[in-house]
């Protein structure tokens, strides 16, 4: 298992970013998990069949945006996310009641490693998702995810702070960013202070979407 896990790639898939570089709007909270204005970045996604299937429907569009959204879930054996993406609870866990934003059956269907400073027992959900909480940093989370992925790829779900940490460490192999024609002005900026070229990244591909969003593929140079 250890030998196979080294083949796993760390991927960012269908990560929405505003045209001014923000991956989340300001004032995130229980009522605004994406921040004020954040949902505007996801209009390209809300129209896809992939999104509708997550909601139990077979409606939705099936063009380029949908194809790329669906590809983001293919070949994934484990995921990583930050605590802010898992939920709005801060500090020590007050109880076991919060189990994420996604209800009883989250869309991941794999082990999901949640970065946090406070330990918590794993949570097993319907559909194969198991949230496992990691308190000893991003590299430990990646190694644990590699073990769990069994040779498949690992999806780095976010949020912005976590993606920035993995970028700065040069640990991300590929990023699929979706640049939406939206100006947020404030919030969490994905690129601020990062020199992606110096970190070894290059733009590999650009694909226009149907709803004015642009799909940008960035990869680590060999």
Tell me the sheet residues that pair with 177.
15, 216
Domain that holds residue 120: 2-220
pTM equals: 0.92
**Mean pLDDT to the nearest integer, 192-198:** 96
Q: What is the pLDDT of residue 2?
A: 38
The pLDDT of residue 63 is above 90: yes
**Cα(78)–Cα(114) distance, rounded to whole angstroms?**
11
210-221, pLDDT tens digit by residue? 888 999 999 999
With residue 182 as reference, give the H or E element that holds it.
none
Task: Give the CATH number of the domain where residue 15 resides.
Answer: 3.40.430.10
Q: What is the pLDDT of residues 109-168, one digit of tens each?
A: 999 999 999 999 999 999 999 999 999 999 999 999 999 999 999 999 999 999 999 999
* φ, ψ of residue 119 in degrees (nearest 5): -65, 150
Tokens 């030998």 sit at which residue? 3
pLDDT at 33: 86
The count of domains in the chain is: 1
Measured from the Cβ of residue 115, the count of other Cβ atoms closer than 10 Å reads 22
The tens digit of pLDDT for each residue in 94-103 reads 998 999 989 9
């Amino acid at each position: 298992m250890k030998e196979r896990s080294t083949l796993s790639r760390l991927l960012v898939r269908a990560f929405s970013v505003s045209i001014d570089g923000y991956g989340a709007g300001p004032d995130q909270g229980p009522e605004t998990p994406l921040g004020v204005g954040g949902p505007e970045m996801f209009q390209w996604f809300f129209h896809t069949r992939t999104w509708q299937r997550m909601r139990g429907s077979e409606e939705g569009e099936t063009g380029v945006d949908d194809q790329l959204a669906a590809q983001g879930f293919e070949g994934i054996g484990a995921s990583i996310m930050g605590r802010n993406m898992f939920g709005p609870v801060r500090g020590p866990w007050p109880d076991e009641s919060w189990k994420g934003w996604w209800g009883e059956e989250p869309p991941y269907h794999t082990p999901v490693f949640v970065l946090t400073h406070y330990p918590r027992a794993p949570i097993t959900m319907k559909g194969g998702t198991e949230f496992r909480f990691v308190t000893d940093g991003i590299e430990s989370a990646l190694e644990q995810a590699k073990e769990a992925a069994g040779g498949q790829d690992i999806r780095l779900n976010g949020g912005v702070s976590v993606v920035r940490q993995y970028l700065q460490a040069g640990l991300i192999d590929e990023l699929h960013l979706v640049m939406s024609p939206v100006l947020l002005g404030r919030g969490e900026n994905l690129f601020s202070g990062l020199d992606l070229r110096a970190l070894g990244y290059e733009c590999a591909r650009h694909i226009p979407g149907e709803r004015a969003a642009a799909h940008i593929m960035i990869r680590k140079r060999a």
